[in-house]
Amino acid sequence: MSAAPSPKDPARPAGSPDPALLRKVALSSLLGTVIEYYDFLLYGTMAALVLGPLFFPESNPTVGMIASFGTLAAGYVARPVGGIVFGHFGDRTGRKTMLVLTMVLMGAASFLIGVLPTYDSIGIAAPVLLVLLRVVQGIAIGGEWGGATLMVVEHADPGRRGLWNGVMQMGSPIGFLMSTLAVTATTFLPREQFMSWGWRLPFLFSALLLAIGLYVRISVSESPLFRQAVDAQRERSAARPRPPLVQVLRRPRVLLLACAVGIGPFALTGLISIFMLTYATGIGYATSDVMNGLIAASLMGLVTIPLFSALSDRIGRRTVVVGGAVGVVLCAFPMFALVDTGKPALLIVGMLLGQLVQSAMYAPLGPLLSEMFGTEVRYTGASMGYQLAALIGSGFTPLIAGGLLSGPEGMRSGPLSVLAVVCGLVSLLAIRRIAETRGKDLAELDVGAPGGASAPGPSTSAFEKGVDA
């Protein structure tokens, strides 16, 4: 149901978004995304620094690294589950309630990690509980992204979805920047204190972030497109529609393309934001050098993600993603060559180069995936595509990279560069098969059944055919 003109702005055309409401929704989505990514990415950094020896102490260093990153992967495995569960209820009962639940789950899981006894205290129960809490984190973030994105996309003007979605997606680099700064602050503690209790502090900080986020999120209104879709469903039929997951799986090609286009940017996230700490310290860099590079990359993402997202409103989602995918294919080997020099300044340059092309591929994903699905299945479809890409790209990339470095040759960047190139090519091939979605009227995606009734799912003419560039 379209927003009515604001009394404070009588000149605003009927049906156009209320600027004040849109700003509030964007702020809510931004804060929620910051909190979710702070908690989720904090684990990735701690997995590289401390969780292996504390929770898998009997392993040798290489096995311990793989075990801790395996736990990291468990969180990514749970993300599609969260997308399905929260997507189902988000498409049935509303976006807002699900977003409150995801935030509570994430904050509670992170706080509990911060108070979790280690292996020395409770034995095998420690890694089991760690994996369980990581899975809860994965389920929570699996439902968060889709709901936060849709709240912005479904409130925004069609010609400015990228711009407003870019505001929301700033939450990812801000969350990572906050987690990196929190970890950096604790690493100044003496080693014994850091390993004993200092590593817990960033996790405990989640409780404060949760309180702030809930205060803002509870006050926002439900998506107008969702309310309109619910009203239309009630008018046309008393019969309960098929579950959103079933409807999405009826068009598997669209879901597969939505997943494939995100693999490239998520693989770079896994290599730069998560695995780089292990690789760079393994070839001689100080931890502080890598943390400086991570902070610099986060600051660049804070600028480039909203810029590329807004740019996709002007030149198209496909053009921006293609530029980033070609960039990673061309820059993967130079990026790791800069890292391999052993010079901290060039390490940062290499990480910034990777972040630049990653942002170009990642920034348009929010509006792109949202525009590929109808309102009644959008939460489920967009979430599944995004979270499956996160699972394949970021979830398994550090694990695969750790395996590549466990051979007799030790640390070597060639296989890591090849891995980045392959994932970039996957995104490039996928985006060539997706039609341009910029400026698409989301309501049109709901009109396809005989007589103009709402038919969930993407338009066959727009997406099933694809586009060959």
Which domains, from first to last, does the chain contain? 19-223+243-464 (1.20.1250.20)
- The pLDDT-based confidence of 457 (bands split at 50, 70, 90) is very low
Residue 273 amino acid letter = S
* pLDDT over 70 percentage in the chain: 83
- Is residue 459 predicted with pLDDT exceeding 50? no
From the CB of residue 129, how many other CB atoms can be counted at a distance below 10 Å? Answer: 16
d(CA 254, CA 256): 5
pTM assigned to the model: 0.79
Mean pLDDT over 223-251 rounds to: 73
Least reliable range by pLDDT among 148-157, 181-190, 400-409: 400-409
Greater confidence (210 vs 344) lies with 344
Average pLDDT over residues 241-261: 89
- Specify the pLDDT at position 465: 38
pLDDT at 184: 83
DSSP state of 391: I
User: What's the rounded Cα separation, in Å, for the pair 351 and 289?
Assistant: 12
Please determine, for residue 362, whether its predicted confidence score (pLDDT) is greater than 50. yes
Mean pLDDT of 364-393: 90
Give, as one character, the DSSP assignment of residue 48.
I
Per-residue model confidence (pLDDT) at position 16: 57
Tokens representing 35? 């909190």
- Weakest mean pLDDT among 16-25, 403-412, 460-469: 460-469
pLDDT of 72: 64
The pLDDT of residue 444 is 67
Q: Which of residues 70 and 46 earns the better pLDDT score? A: 46
Per-residue pLDDT band at 300 (split at 50, 70, 90)? very high
Asked if pLDDT for residue 40 goes beyond 60, the answer is yes
Residue recorded with tokens 């280690």: 118
112-121, 168-177, 248-257, 410-419: the lowest-pLDDT one: 410-419
pLDDT of 268: 92
Long-range contacts of the stretch 412-419 (C-beta < 8 A, 24+): 413/279, 413/336, 413/337, 413/339, 413/340, 414/336, 416/271, 416/275, 416/279, 416/336, 417/332, 417/333, 417/335, 417/336, 418/332, 419/267, 419/271
How does residue 32 score in pLDDT terms, banded at 50, 70 and 90?
Answer: confident
Half-sphere exposure (CA, 13 Å, Cβ side) for 329?
13
In the prediction, which pLDDT does 456 show?
A: 36
pLDDT at residue 173 is higher than 90: no
Higher pLDDT, 26 or 263: 263
Q: Which residue has the tokens 């095998």?
A: 124
Mean pLDDT of the chain: 81
Q: Which of 18-32, 102-116, 318-332 comes out lowest in average pLDDT?
A: 18-32
Give the Cα separation of 53 and 68 in Å (integer): 9
pLDDT(376) > 70: yes
If one counts every other C-beta atom within 10 angstroms of the C-beta of residue 194, the result is 18
What is the DSSP track for 438-469? TT--GGGGGB-SGGG-B--S--IIIIIS----
One-letter amino acid for residue 343 of the chain: K
Mean pLDDT score, 30-52:
82
Average pLDDT of the segment spanning 170-183: 86
> Can you give the pLDDT at residue 433?
93
